Amino acid sequence: MSPLSPSDAKPSTPFTVGLTGGIGSGKTTVADLFAERGVAVVDTDLIAHQLTAPNGIAIAAIRAEFGDAFIDTGGAMDRKKMREYVFSDPLAKQRLEAILHPLIGTETARAIAQANGHYVMPVIPLLVESGKWQQRFTRILVIDCDEQTQIQRVMQRNAMNETQVRAIMAAQATRQQRLEAADDVIVNNAGVDALAPQIERLHAFYMSLAACH
């Protein structure tokens, strides 16, 4: 996924904790644990996916830009075909992103504004890479994971080899860049049980900040 473009997103007024981390660092695992505690999680991967699902709001623009051949019979973007096309043509990738990124920005801003919970936690995989989202959130929470653990987990989950996982990681921000952008860090090197105390501590902290936000 490419960096989001929030240029036309409204500034968020609720107390927001932007959650990010490298591929397979544990963003979803951690976000689910915050959701269990009444936090409104906004999943930007899901938002991006819905844009190009049947009747998604990006479909008309994609049809106009790329033609009927890229829309399947069910009315969704033909992901496989588009993936192959943009892989072979960087300009096509830019054209697709010019459609999708502003829509992801506005839809994410809308979801944040409508969210119900103690506070809002948008999950943005490429938050640090985008550069623009950082000042829009009250706190930035980074899920940190040592590279070897990260690689092992992604290899296991996605049936990829180490070279493939490293290629994805090389296209993302470094661990150091993410840590520099972080207000708060959750370390996810050990088992899932090691997450609960860290989440309890941060959730209590965020609740106290949200109360006077």
Interface positions with ligand ATP (CB under 6 A) = 21, 23-29, 125, 153, 157, 188, 191-192
Residue with smaller CB distance to ligand ATP, 27 or 139? 27
Task: Copy the structure tokens of residue 81.
Answer: 């075909």
Q: Report d(CA 150, CA 81) in Å as an integer.
A: 29
Q: Evaluate whether 58 touches 96 at the Cβ level (below 8 Å).
A: no
What are the C-alpha distances in Å from 46 to residues 41, 131, 195?
11, 21, 24
Residue with smaller CB distance to ligand ATP, 47 or 59? 47
Residue with smaller CB distance to ligand ATP, 7 or 189? 189
Q: How far is the CB of 152 from ligand ATP (least distance, A)?
A: 9
Q: How far is the CB of 195 from ligand ATP (least distance, A)?
A: 6
- Greatest CA span in the chain, whole angstroms? 52
Residue with smaller CB distance to ligand ATP, 90 or 191? 191
Q: Evaluate whether 39 touches 139 at the Cβ level (below 8 Å).
A: no
Q: How far is the CB of 60 from ligand ATP (least distance, A)?
A: 28
